[in-house]
Amino acid sequence: MRTDTLDRLNTTMEAQLVRDDHPAGFPYLPPVPSSRYTDPGFAKLEHDELLMKNWLLAGHVSELPAAGSYFLFEQLDQSVIISRAKDGVIRAFHNSCRHRGSALLLEHSGKAMRFVCPYHSWGYSLEGELKSVPDQHDFTCFEKADHGLKPVRCEIERGMIFINFDENAGSLADFMAPQAPQKVGYPIEKMVVKKRLLVEMNCNWKLALHNFLEIYHVATVHAKTLAPHLNSQSFVIALFENGHMRFGTRKKKGESLFQPSLFKPDDIADVFRECTIALPTFPNTFYSLDPIGFSLQSFWPAGVDKSIMEVRLMGWDVDSDEDRAHWDAMDGIVRNILSEDLCLFRSIQQSLTRGTIPQLTFGYQERALYWFEEEVDRRIGAHNIPESQRVAPVLAEQMER
Ligand code: FES
Ligand SMILES: [Fe+2]
């Protein structure tokens, strides 16, 4: 973290530790309509105007270690090949053959030096050019150059691979700029994905994400697992432009919440040893940096009241029995902590779907949830949203610049 960023974190944390009221001048947060989480019309607006037009986390460069390595992005009813070509460049293409639309790759991940369609064997290079067509003489007026794979925008920030289905979107660097200084001093680009998990949830994706945007519930839900490690009183939130945020919480004991003896690189800044720094990244990604690694989580809709949490366990590139044992155990630890939250999600969704709870109430400690919802409306365009479903923008003054 830069010095000015760190200074501001420390100042706000000290103020937080002694407060016994919400800050004077903090605005009233109006209730948030429950239909934002139950209405198929709102879900369609989100899909078309928010998710299909934003930078979305697809994976990490360590998942593509060599030329020909690929994995598929398969959320939002899309199928996209993310692969590394011989020139080392990572590219993304729709996983659809230009002949009659078959998927080219059927496995989630693997290695292929050429994409050969499993239907009639049209063959494409890793750069997406159509290279071979069996019996090409049977196609009249046909140019291979006109039938390359359809590209998807793909850019990388600090080792994280993002895609964007909107050809007209601004750059990833510009989108991430308001949050980028917060992760200086934590070498994410040197990490490796140790495991990837998919967790199905019986609630709207935004309700699941809400759960990670506050620690108000930690004392109740995670009383034995997380609460003993975190000084919840110190929890601070910075709201940034583009819907991004940064949370900071002091640790109660040791550098790591999980396995203090595990390898940690020397070049991690002290702030990441003393505090848990979490980085909610708009629209649907959350991670909380710990010196031994972290859980990189993205929340995807799978229907208006179903969602999927995609989790990548990120660690350091070391090969030891202790490391393997830790990450094998971590799979279970993460699932255990998640299960403490997950068992409540279905009941929350049902209360909203039944109409028992027509609106949600957010307090000062839940202002990050409100900031997220404000940004959802900014991205969709408030004029596109029925008035009864909008969230009034009230937090702009609270944003850090
Ligand atoms: S659909 Fe791919 S070769 Fe026919
Ligand atoms: Fe939780």
- Alpha carbon of 141 to ligand 2 centroid (Å): 59
- pLDDT at position 23 is 82
The pLDDT of 361-385, averaged and rounded, is 97
Tell me the CATH architecture of domain 3-52+182-398: Alpha-Beta Complex (3.90)
Least confident interval from 14-23, 25-34, 273-282: 14-23
Which amino acid makes up residue 93? F
Query: Which pLDDT band holds residue 242 (cuts at 50, 70, 90)?
Result: very high
For ligand 1, mutation pick of 94, 105, 117, 132 (most atoms within 8 Å of CB)? 117
Of 99, 116, 142, 144, the residue with max ligand 1 atoms within 8 A of its CB, to mutate for a pocket test, comes to 99
Probe residue for ligand 1, chosen from 81, 97, 106, 131 as the CB with the greatest number of ligand atoms within 8 Å: 97
Query: Is there a contact between 69 and 57 (Cβ–Cβ < 8 Å)?
Result: no
Choose among 196, 147, 201: nearest CA to 343.
201
Cβ of 117 closer than 6 Å to ligand 1, yes or no, is yes
For ligand 2, the distance from its centroid to the CA atom of residue 32, given in whole angstroms, is: 21
| Nearest alpha-carbon partner for 280 in 320, 311, 239, 315 | 239
Mean pLDDT of 210-219: 93
Cβ atoms of 177 and 111 closer than 8 Å:
no
Residue 13 confidence (pLDDT)? 82
199 has a pLDDT exceeding 90:
yes
365-390: average pLDDT: 97
377-386 burial string, b = 16+ CB within 10 Å, else e? bebbeeeebe
**Can you say whether the dihedral through the CA atoms of 164, 170, 173, 174 is positive or negative?**
negative
Residue 378, pLDDT > 90, answer yes
- The per-residue pLDDT for 333 is 85
pLDDT at 19: 79
pLDDT tens figures, 317-352: 998 999 999 999 888 888 888 888 999 999 999 999
For ligand 1, atom 4: residue with the closest CA: 120
**Strand extents, DSSP E, 240-357:** 245-251, 275-278, 285-286, 288-289, 294-301, 307-315
Residue 33 pLDDT exceeds 80: yes
pLDDT tens digit sequence for 254-298: 777 777 778 888 889 999 999 999 999 999 999 999 999 999 999
Stated as kind and residue range, the H or E segment containing 60 is strand 56-60
pLDDT digits (tens, 9 = 90+) for 139-187: 999 999 999 999 999 999 999 999 999 999 999 999 999 999 999 999 9
CA-nearest residue for atom 3, ligand 1, is 120
- pTM of the entire structure? 0.96
Mean pLDDT calculated for residue range 218-240: 89
Say yes or no: CB of residue 100 within 6 Å of ligand 1.
yes
Ligand 2 center from residue 339 Cα (angstroms) = 9
* Assigned CATH class of 57-156: mainly beta
What span, in angstroms and rounded, lies between the C-alpha atoms of 350 and 327?
Answer: 35
- CA dist 297 and 299 (Å) reads 7
Q: For ligand 1, atom 1, which residue shows the shortest CA distance?
A: 100
Kindly list the domain boundaries of the chain, sorted by start residue: 3-52+182-398, 57-156
Q: Are 327 and 201 in contact (CB under 8 A)?
A: no
Ligand 1 neighbour 119 (Cβ under 6 A)? yes
Is pLDDT above 80 for 219?
A: yes
pLDDT value of residue 265: 87
321's enclosing H/E stretch is helix 321-353
Nearest atom, ligand 1, residue 97 CA: 2
